[in-house]
Amino acid sequence: MQLQSVLRGALAVTAVATVMAAPAHAQIVYSGPVNITIPGDIDGIYLNLVTGASATSGLGAPGWDINPYSASPLAPGFNLWGATTTTWLNTNNAILNAAGYVLAPGTPIGPGTNFFRPGGGAELAGVVTLNAPNLFGVQFTAEGLTPTTHFAWVEVTFGSSVTSRAITGYAFQSMPNTAIAAGVVPEPGTYALMLAGLAGIAGFAARRRKAD
């Protein structure tokens, strides 16, 4: 009976500690590693950030939010389209400034920043880093009875050429109108704390049994 009481108390302490230690990034929804190829053509890829649905046409990805593509079939590059005119973050606050769309890790994406839908007007082929992941910021509207504005980052990894590319991860803030930092994912600290607490309880119980 005493052991059961101790276990209940230990579990309660662990639960409280877990809640108190919940990271600030708890509201971030992360896709995990993905590999969504972006064709080097005028259609590109359409992606719904909430459902994860993707297709080479808008009809194939209902409620799509972003559409990276190549504007010119003659000299395929990398261009950005979106469901609204305020989709892609530009840190230079200039719709045609290509360099402003490629973000450094940790760049804040949220209220007070500037979003555009540059299309073929901004050619990013010369500003992205090849053979590496590149980060982009997004503002989108989540579906629902009451549409809400959310912020996200999208990682596009390029190969040896600008036409060799894929979306390899993305994350968004589930809380409306809440900023997210480029490249930030939910921290595993909460889960690690919970597992450590449970391991400690198991060890304590084993020692009690030996003592009894």
Per-residue tokens: 168: 């390899």
Angle between helices 189-211 and 2-20 (to 10 degrees): 170
The residue with tokens 């890829």 is 45
The reported pLDDT for the residue numbered 144 is 74
The string of pLDDT tens digits covering residues 154-181 is 999 999 999 999 999 999 999 999 999 9
d(CA 174, CA 50): 9
The string of pLDDT tens digits covering residues 40-95 is 999 999 999 999 999 999 999 999 999 999 998 778 899 999 999 999 999 999 99
The reported pLDDT for the residue numbered 71 is 93
- Which DSSP category does 129 fall into? P
